[in-house]
Each structure stands twice: as C-alpha cells, then as structure tokens.
C-alpha cells in the first residue's frame, strides 16, 4: 500500500502533470510519475548515468534484475529514470533497478528526466520508493533513518512523517544498529529475523548477543525459543570489569515479551525488573529530545 507522506519537497519532485496520460509500466518497475509541465524526457548515454551514494538499498536480486532485463528487452525502458546533473554526469534519484537491468543488456542509452534535488530530497525519495515497494532489508532501512537523523538533524517524529511510518517503527528499526556488525549481517542475509534481533537486544554485552545469534542460526531457533535462551542468559547474571558482578533478576518468557512490548511502545531501551509482584520499569533515554518524547507518550507535560 502506498504511503501518503512524501516529505519536504518530494511532492513537487514526484508530482506528475494531470494532463499527462499514464504510460505502461514494465513488470517490477517502480511507480515513478510522469514529467511535470515544461519537463521533457531525453535520452542520454547509459555510461553518463551514475548510481547515487545516498541510495540506502545495497543488495539487488540477480534473478529479479534478469526478469526486469527480459521485460526491457521486449518493451524497452517505458519509465524514464529520474536523475540530477552532477559533475558532468547524471546521478540517479530514482530507478536504479532499471539502470542496472539496462546495464545487463548493454543498452547504448536510456530515457531520463532531469530534476533539481538536494541531498536530503534524494535520500528521502530513495527511502520512500524502496519502502513502498518493500525492497529494503531491515538494516538498510535502519541505516536510511539513521542518515536522515544524523546528516539532516531530523527527529524520529519528522522521519516517521516523511516516510509514512509510525514513530515507534522508526525507533525500533534504528535500534537494530546497536547490534554488532556480525549480527547485522545475519539480518541482512535473512539468517535471523527482526523478531529474533529484538529479543537478542535484551542482552547487555556484544559477546552475549553474538553467542545468542550464533545459537539461533546453528540450532534454527524460533523467536519463542530465542526468548527462552535470552531469559536463561539474563538469569545467570553478567560480569563487568574487575570482579564485580551485577545480579540480574530471573526473567521468564512472559516478562521478556512484556518488556519487548514496552520497548516497542517507547522506542528505546526498557528494562523490567519483576519478582513476586514487585519490581520497577526502567526507561532509558539518550537525549533531551528523546526524554521529551517519552514524557509525551506518558502524557506528562514537562512545563
């Protein structure tokens, strides 16, 4: 289902002319609009088109590209690539799959529409295009959100509005980047699911997280079994530097699931301590903005 939020400048970037009739779309092609009034489709040498370094999607299915290439061989590139001029070349804004498929066919030239766009517009559009087509893996999605936050100083609420997601979805996605690179690789490759990863995030150290992820892959554990594995690890306590040991209250799978629901609700690290009907809920925050967001979720006015 298409997301309505297009972000600052993206409505103008993507908007098509109402008077322009729709054109046929090759199977698997991304839904890109027709030219605005005054725009024109031009054909440029394929070698003059370059991919964007801001493209969050890094992996492309060889099989899907071959299918798209077969369609292009039969019908041609029926949707122009959207590009911007950059240093004597044309940098892709949208349509990298069509560009890659055209390379497979060694086409001499491709149709393009040249538009003005800054880096923020390009990153937002790339995220929206891929998210609407569900082409990003969870780590690519998280990295895209992180880049919008760090490079363009957007809050999670602003990011969520632009990409048509909930703030909690954005927060939970970016939490995956706290995992070690090796576990992120497992997620990219589909060896563990996002559900597994959320449970593994409950462990305090990278060593424990790595061990749990390897067990999941080796033994083919489902998410429920992973919850049991993590609960057992937490019940043993964790050593820190020196000889100091931090005791951890045993956590059964029901408490673990409740803790995960709290993390999803607040979009940050939450620890639930529970024993015989008593305990505490610890909600972590890592900036003033994040504290303000937590207070708003709780319905508390800080003023």
Rounded Cα distance, 87 and 101, in Å: 24
Non-local CB neighbours of 224 within 8 Å, separated by 6+ positions: 253
pLDDT tens, N- to C-terminus, the chain (303 residues): 444 443 444 344 444 433 333 333 333 333 334 445 457 889 999 999 998 888 877 778 788 889 999 999 988 888 898 899 988 899 998 888 899 999 999 999 999 989 888 888 888 777 777 776 666 789 988 988 888 888 788 888 888 888 888 888 888 899 999 999 999 999 988 999 999 998 999 888 899 999 999 999 999 999 888 988 888 887 775 443 333 434 444 445 677 778 777 877 787 777 787 777 778 888 887 777 778 878 888 888 766
Question: Among 264, 265, 258, 271, which Cα is nearest to 296's?
Answer: 265
What is the reported pLDDT for 18?
35
- Assign 138 to helix, strand or coil: helix
Q: How far apart are the first and last CA of the chain?
A: 39
Rounded Cα distance, 187 and 196, in Å: 9
What is the reported pLDDT for 90?
93
Domains observed in the chain: 1-178 (3.90.1530.10), 193-248 (no CATH), 249-303 (no CATH)
Non-local CB neighbours of 62 within 8 Å, separated by 6+ positions: none
Non-local CB neighbours of 10 within 8 Å, separated by 6+ positions: 121, 124, 125, 128, 162
DSSP track, 113-156 = EE----HHHHHHHHHHHHHHTT-S-HHHHHHHHHHHHHHH---H
Question: Among 82, 80, 154, which Cα is nearest to 114's?
Answer: 82
Rounded Cα distance, 232 and 245, in Å: 17
Other beta carbons within 10 angstroms of residue 176's beta carbon come to: 21
What is the reported pLDDT for 129?
72
What is the reported pLDDT for 253?
61
DSSP state, residue 176 = G
The alpha carbon torsion through 169, 152, 127, 194 (nearest 10 deg) reads -30
Q: How open is the CA angle 266-175-153, to the nearest 5 degrees?
A: 85
Rounded Cα distance, 112 and 194, in Å: 37
Tokens of 153: 């100083």
Question: Among 221, 177, 170, 167, which Cα is nearest to 201's?
Answer: 177
Query: Does residue 259 contact residue 268 with C-beta atoms inside 8 Å?
Result: no
Active site residues: 96
């Amino acid at each position: 289902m298409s997301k309505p939020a297009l972000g600052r400048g993206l409505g103008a970037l993507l908007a098509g002319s109402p008077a322009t009739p729709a054109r046929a779309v090759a199977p698997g092609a991304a839904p890109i609009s027709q030219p605005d009034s005054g725009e024109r489709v031009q054909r440029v040498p394929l070698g003059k088109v370059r991919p964007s370094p801001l493209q969050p999607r890094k992996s492309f299915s060889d099989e899907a590209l071959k299918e798209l290439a077969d369609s292009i061989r039969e019908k041609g590139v029926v949707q122009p690539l959207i590009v911007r001029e950059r240093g004597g070349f044309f940098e892709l804004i949208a349509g990298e799959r069509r560009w890659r498929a055209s390379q497979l066919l060694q086409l001499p030239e491709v149709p393009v529409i040249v538009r003005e766009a800054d880096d923020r517009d390009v990153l937002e559009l790339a995220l929206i295009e891929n998210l609407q087509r569900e082409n990003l893996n969870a780590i690519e999605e998280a990295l895209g959100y992180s880049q919008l936050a760090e490079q363009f100083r957007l809050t999670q609420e602003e990011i969520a509005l632009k990409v048509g997601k909930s703030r909690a979805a954005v927060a939970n996605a970016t939490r995956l980047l706290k995992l070690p690179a090796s576990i992120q690789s497992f997620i990219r490759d589909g060896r563990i699911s996002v559900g597994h990863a959320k449970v593994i995030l409950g462990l305090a150290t990278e060593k424990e997280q790595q061990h749990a992820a390897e067990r999941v892959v080796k033994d083919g554990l489902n998410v429920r079994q992973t919850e049991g594995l993590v609960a057992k690890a937490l019940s043993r306590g964790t050593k820190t530097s020196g000889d100091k040991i931090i005791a951890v209250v045993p956590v059964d799978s029901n408490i673990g699931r409740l803790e995960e629901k709290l993390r999803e609700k607040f979009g940050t690290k939450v620890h639930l301590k529970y024993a015989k009907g008593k305990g505490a809920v610890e909600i972590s925050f890592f900036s003033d903005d994040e504290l303000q967001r937590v207070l708003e979720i709780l319905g508390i006015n800080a003023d």
